[in-house]
């Protein structure tokens, strides 16, 4: 089974399925702003903790349905792909290491809050959904449709 997270500027879509048959589990309207509201000049530890709580509140009712799935992420915003250095396959340990790198930065003023929100959500999905790998892809091009 495959789990899918579609990231757009206006929403997150979480689904499961195979091939053309997908079932929507949840949709979080607001996208990154629903997890990490903008407004502060620098993302604080409290901002990140609040984003984790919001992500958990959204995904926990669906965590069991994700167990053992491969997570496919389609990032239409490009922020996650850019922050991770390009489209790639990531293990739970690699996502956790990147999350810790961001959290441990002494000055997060240069961090893109959209990237941080997406990273928090992917980390929480991998952790609570017991996923071992995530395939992160960028915006679809004409050939990807």
Q: Residue 81 domain-assigned?
A: yes
How would you label 33-68 residue by residue, b for 16+ Cβ within 10 Å and e otherwise? ebbbeeeeeebeeebbeebbebbeebbeebbebbee
Q: What is the DSSP letter of 38?
A: S
Taking alpha carbons only, the member of 66, 84, 62 closest to residue 126 is 66
Task: Look at residue 55 and tell me if it is in a domain.
Answer: yes
Number of domains into which the chain is organized: 1
In a domain, 145, yes or no: no
For residue 137 the two structure tokens come to 């892809």
**What pLDDT is recorded for position 138?**
87
What are 26's strand-pairing partners? 14
Measure the CA–CA gap between 89 and 134, rounded to whole angstroms: 6
Q: Which of 63, 82, 70, 90 is nearest to 4 (CA)?
A: 70
For 130, the domain range is 2-140
34 part of a folded domain: yes
The two structure tokens encoding residue 4? 């899918």
Q: Is residue 51 assigned to a domain?
A: yes
| Beta-bridge mates of residue 21 | 18
Report the length, in residues, of the chain. 145
Residue 123: which CATH number? Answer: 3.30.420.150
Task: Specify the pLDDT at position 36.
Answer: 92
Q: Is residue 127 part of a domain?
A: yes
User: Over its length of 145 residues, how does the chain's per-residue pLDDT go in tens digits?
Assistant: 899 999 999 999 999 987 778 899 999 999 999 999 876 668 989 999 999 999 999 999 999 999 888 999 999 999 999 999 999 999 999 999 999 999 998 888 888 999 999 999 999 999 999 998 999 998 865 444 3
Residue 122 within any structural domain of the chain:
yes
- Domain annotation covers residue 78: yes
CA distance 37 to 32: 7
What is the spatial distance between Cα 31 and Cα 11, in angstroms, rounded to a whole number?
4
């Amino acid at each position: 089974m495959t789990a899918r997270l579609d990231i757009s500027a206006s929403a997150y879509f979480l689904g499961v399925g195979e091939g053309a048959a997908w079932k929507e589990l949840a949709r979080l309207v607001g996208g990154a702003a629903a997890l990490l509201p903008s407004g502060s000049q620098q993302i604080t530890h409290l901002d990140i903790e609040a984003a984790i709580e919001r992500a958990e509140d959204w995904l926990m009712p669906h965590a069991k349905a994700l167990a053992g799935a491969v997570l496919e992420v389609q990032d239409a915003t490009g922020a996650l792909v850019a922050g991770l250095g390009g489209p790639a396959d990531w293990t739970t340990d690699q996502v956790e290491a990147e999350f810790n790198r961001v959290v441990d930065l002494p000055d997060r003023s240069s961090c893109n809050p959209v990237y941080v929100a997406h990273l928090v959500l992917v980390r929480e999905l991998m952790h609570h959904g017991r996923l071992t790998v995530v395939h992160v892809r960028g915006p679809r091009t004409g050939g990807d449709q």
